[in-house]
Amino acid sequence: MAFSIAVAGKGGVGKTSVSALMIRELLRRGKKPVLAVDADANVNLNEALGVEVDGSVGSIREAMLDEIKTLPPGMSKEAFVQLKIEESLVESEGFDLLVMGRPEGPGCYCYANNILRRYVDALSKSYPFIVIDNEAGMEHLSRRTTQNIDLVLIVSDATPVGLKTAERIWRLARDLKLDIKESALVLNRVNGIPREKIDEMVEGLGIELGAVLPLDQNLIEYSYSGKSLLNLTSDSLATKAVADLVDRYI
């Protein structure tokens, strides 16, 4: 069974960048293939990884409604969904990417979430590592999209609002009694704050501080120019911090 890593946090704190850098570090260490899952309806993990996406889990419901009457004889709905999942899987060097995307019809995300959870569990048998970039906030936890996770990384900036949201996410995961083996706080884009001040800020949250990622101009330049974060050099501040994070928890 795969070692599963889920990345959570409020919007705008850099969850996708942290997810991409975790995938980069796993690939650098030969921990492949990695299954990358973009569980956010606002798809952007593919951009951080430098790959194109044509299909998504969110489109499967509408595809099934359109094509159900023309399915080949003997093909069940189950087999059709599995086929569409396989068609949605983007294969790249060292990793595959599966994206949830937005439902194309008027329906809610429940169907897409159920498909995503079910087939990620099935796909996990084929990958040593899975990295899930979750949607912003806490909704994915209440829908139990994130469960049976080895490591949850709760990403925050070094602000009171970000840290309070991180604490709420951690407490909700605990209250829902999700099967999470370890959880850690990742402070992102930290600039000029002394370590003793950081320790003071996170004291009492109840979440272990797993890593502090400095504000990295290289990462910012890559993101703004649309370059794959997989190509960031190992002397980059952010990649060094993520390497230490992997050393600590994996």
**Res 42: pLDDT:** 74
What's the CATH number where 229 sits? 3.40.50.300
**Res 39: pLDDT:** 84
**Res 140: pLDDT:** 53
Alpha carbon 205 to its chain's center: 23
**Res 51: pLDDT:** 94
**Res 137: pLDDT:** 58
Structural domain count of the chain: 1
The secondary structure of the chain, three-state, reads CCEEEEEEECCCCCHHHHHHHHHHHHHHCCCCCEEEEECCCCCCHHHHHCCCCCCCHHHHHHHHHHHHHHCCCCCCHHHHHHHHHHHHCEEECCEEEEECCCCCCCCCCHHHHHHHHHHHHHHHHHCCEEEEECCCECHHHHCCCCCCEEEEEEEECCCHHHHHHHHHHHHHHHHCCCCEEEEEEEEEEECCCCHHHHHHHHCCCCCCEEEEEECCHHHHHHHHHCCCHHHCCCCCHHHHHHHHHHHHHC
In a domain, 41, yes or no: yes
Nearest to 239 by CA among 26, 4, 8: 26
In a domain, 78, yes or no: no
How far, in Å, CA of 89 to CA of 57, rounded?
9
How far, in Å, CA of 170 to CA of 152, rounded?
9
In a domain, 197, yes or no: yes
Bridge partners for 95 per DSSP: 34, 92
In a domain, 82, yes or no: no
Q: How do the pLDDT tens digits run along the chain, 250 residues long?
A: 789 999 999 888 999 999 999 999 999 999 999 999 998 777 789 999 999 988 777 666 666 666 666 666 767 767 777 777 777 789 999 999 988 775 545 555 555 566 666 777 777 788 999 999 987 755 555 454 555 789 999 999 999 999 999 999 888 888 877 788 999 999 999 999 999 999 999 998 989 999 999 999 999 999 999 999 999 999 899 999 999 999 999 9
In a domain, 83, yes or no: no
In a domain, 163, yes or no: yes
How far, in Å, CA of 45 to CA of 15, rounded?
9
**Res 148: pLDDT:** 73
**Res 151: pLDDT:** 93
The residue segments making up the domain with residue 199 are 3-50+91-102+127-249
In a domain, 75, yes or no: no
Nearest to 129 by CA among 57, 44, 30: 30
Q: What is the pTM of this model?
A: 0.87
In a domain, 69, yes or no: no
